[in-house]
Each structure stands twice: as C-alpha cells, then as structure tokens.
Structure 1
C-alpha cells in the first residue's frame, strides 16, 4: 500500500490520477477527506482509500501508515518544512514504511542562497539517516507556476521578474507525478536521486514572445531589481514575506548559476517530457 501525503497538491493530485489509471491501490491523506473524495471522483473509489490525517498530528499519521509499505511525501513549502517532514519521516520509519519518495529541491546544498533549498538539505539528511530506502525527486521550476502571471498578463499585457534573459528549466508537474508513479511501482529504478527538468530551457523574454503569438497581442516581460520585485510580490502579490523571498532567491540564483536540462524523464518514462508550448496552449484561456 502506498500512502500519499500532499494528495491535494499539484503533484500529488496528478499522482493520484496516474495511480488510478494504473489500477494501483493507494491511501491518500487529507485534513478534509470529503473534499479529497470529491477531487478523486468515482473513477478512483475502487483503488484509492481516503484517510483523515494531519501532518501536525503524529497519532493520525501512525494510524494512516498502518499496513502500508511506501510513502509519497510532498508538503507545500513553509517555514515549518523541516519540523513537519522530519517528524513524518521518523514516524514512517517506526511504522514500518520501507520506501519513501520525497519531493525536494534541485539546489539542495546547505550553503545554497535559496533558504528553502537549505530546508530540504536538512530533511534529506534526516531521510538518509532514517535507514529507510528512499528516492528523492528534485524538480526544477513548475510550468504550473507560470499561471501566477495570468493576472498581470490579462490586465497589463505584462509579467514581472528579476531573471533578466537567463534561461530556466521548466517541468510540467504531471511529468513529476508520472516519475513518482514509476519509482513507486518499479523497484529497479527506486532508491536513487533524480533531478527533473523538461527537455528545453527558456528565458522569461522567450516566454513573453510565446504568449504574444498565442494570444495575438504583445506581451512584455518587465525585469526588475530583486528588492523591487520583493516589494512588488509582498505589496501587490500579497505573498507572505518568506515566500516572496523564496521567489526572488530562485530568480536571482538563475542569473548566476547556468541551468541545463536533464534526460531523466525520458530515461525513466520512455517518452519526451511535456513541452512548454503545449502547456501554454492548454492554458490559453487563463491568459486571455
């Protein structure tokens, strides 16, 4: 039995869909199980068990892990990341979980200028010390996060950042989920660390050009100084300061650390990763 923590997230929900298609039984955890059942729909009722659990409630996790042998762990980044994921890993190990698949960060070094990456470094350390077989997935930027630009694209025909013209790796969260399903169901490829990207890299100016063609109107990318972007994200984007800092740190790092795509998605899945052009076309109406 596979337990899924993060079942309502972008990756976790796509993983559930993939496991349903494969007919693989899983137990999805949620603080609001009825909403999760609605999300899964009738198609998944025969293979997906929904259980009430809270990452902050150890006893609920112990109940949820009973009889399971694998855990998919994907918690939204937050200042409590280390505390919550460390606790979950320790409880899982004591409950007899034999394999943990964790979503991590591509820049995971302790000295990384991206604070969230430092959190994942500490969590990966706990995972390594747990004695549990583990697979770590380190995806780069999610294509789905580009949808955050939809508001200013629709209202100002522009989006903002501080990456200048630096190329960036993007990956569709559905590809991450497909890789997760593969490592959860194929022992031959589990127990490794995988850095996940799409097949190409793109800069924000290139994405603005793609949106311009797609929408048949000029879309601009406006580059800002990091501190100006930080203020904009907090004051106008209404992001909590830690998250705004995270966005700025990632974009700043992208300007000094060259990014290159990997072929891991293709090697694991036997197909090319989903393309950015296809993703933008799929979500055209979001940017109208």
Structure 2
C-alpha cells in the first residue's frame, strides 16, 4: 500500500474512495491532523487524459487470437500433469512392488548419456501444447497487425452527450469497410508512473526494486504495465514495432457497463455506466480514473 501527499498547482478533484480494505482500494482525500508522516510527491492533476493514455488507449485495436485464451486455460492442467509424472517416477519402485503401476510404464529410456522417464514421454508433449498454441496465436496476431499497418482504418465519427448515468451517442459514423457490432462504457484505474511509484516508496532507480516490481525495461514504451515493471509474463500478446500499440492492454482494475447492440439502425444509442459508483475523470501520476467507450467492430476481411 502506498500513501502519499500530492502537491500540485492544479485544483484537486473531489474526495473519493473506491474498493474495500480487504481487496484493493484507491482513495483521494484531504490531509488530516492525525495523519502519519507520508512521502510527498509533486505531479500534475488534470481532468484531461495524459498523452501516453491517448497513445495507448485511443484508436482501433486488434482483438487477440482466441488461441491465447485456450492456451491460458491449458497451462495449469498441463503443469500438474508434468509434476505428477515426475512424482510417480520418483515412487516407481514402491508402486510397482504394490502392483499399482505396470512395469511397462516404469523405468527410463536411455538417450545418449542421460536417462529419461518413460512417463515423461507422455506428459511432456502435452505440456508443450499451450506453448505451441501461444506461438501460433502470436504469429497470427503479428500477421493481422502488419495487415492493419499496411491498410489502416479511419477513425469513426461520434457525437456524445455525457450525463450522470451514462453517455448518449447521437451519431456513430463508421468507416466504409467497418461494421459496428456492439459497444459499452467502462471505467478503470490505469497503471501509475514508475518514477512516481519509486519516489513514493522512497526507492532509487537502478537499486533493488520494490516487491512486485521488476527492474527497469528499455526506454521504448511497449505497454504501460511493462513500463511500470509490475507485470508477470505477457500483459498483452506479442506486438510489432509500430508507433502505437495495436493490441489493447486491459486495465487491471476496471468496471464495465452493459454491452449495447450497435447492429440495429438507431439515431440515438445510450451507453449505460457501471452499476458501482465511480468518480469522474481524474488523471495524476499515481491515481488515474479513466473513462472510455469500447466499440467492437468487424472489418470486411473478417478482422475483429
């Protein structure tokens, strides 16, 4: 947990508290006389999105290949299968003597100077299936990203009216080669700036990072989560070298509204907000509450 005093020349937002003490919590309030001593940071506070958010969360994005989801679901059972195979191999003499394991499955095969358990020849290929799926899915994603770069899509024209319960779209004009399927309004907390997180924790860049953070990655922004250094594994599928990331990284804390069907012809479309109460747009180095409209569309070639 990070508690800091934010000093800014800008007007602070109204006090708010999101989440709960037993899960995740984000709170913005004024200082109290009985507050303990906290770190002080200086940063900009605004109601307008920062440039890096406009680069990473504005425009058309390609939907990742469905094989990514299948691969993630297979990782746990395949790892368990591999561990069970090695565990059974370690107990083979006792299992064979008790008649619980056939001798045809016990023992090892010698390949060169090493012995390999027989059970491993059955478990290891299964263990490699999600890895193969991820490789195939990444190759497909790279091909679709290159197709988009070669033939980019124009931005839609949308006229919006914002109120306390949602957003009213008076007009949604899609590009000629795109067909809107559905849309929704969602809000979430974006990833804070790495430098301000380290400053709040009184850590120095280049030294041992705080728990949950990795060492600093190369300067080029790939995804906001990787720049922060708190991601474990891939935050998004493999992206190609392009000024703007073409695979949208999900906000780690977000609350979506209901999907609205956009296939039907209608002059007015209302995007209902999430059930829970959220503050308006707040942008700072540590806390950033970001509202956005997500539109799912299909291109003429079938790309989503």
TM-score by shorter chain over 0.5:
no
More strand per residue: 2
Structure whose CA Rg is larger? 2
TM-score class normalised by the smaller sequence: under 0.3
More helix per residue: 1
> Which protein has greater RCO, CA pairs closer than 8 Å, 6+ apart?
2
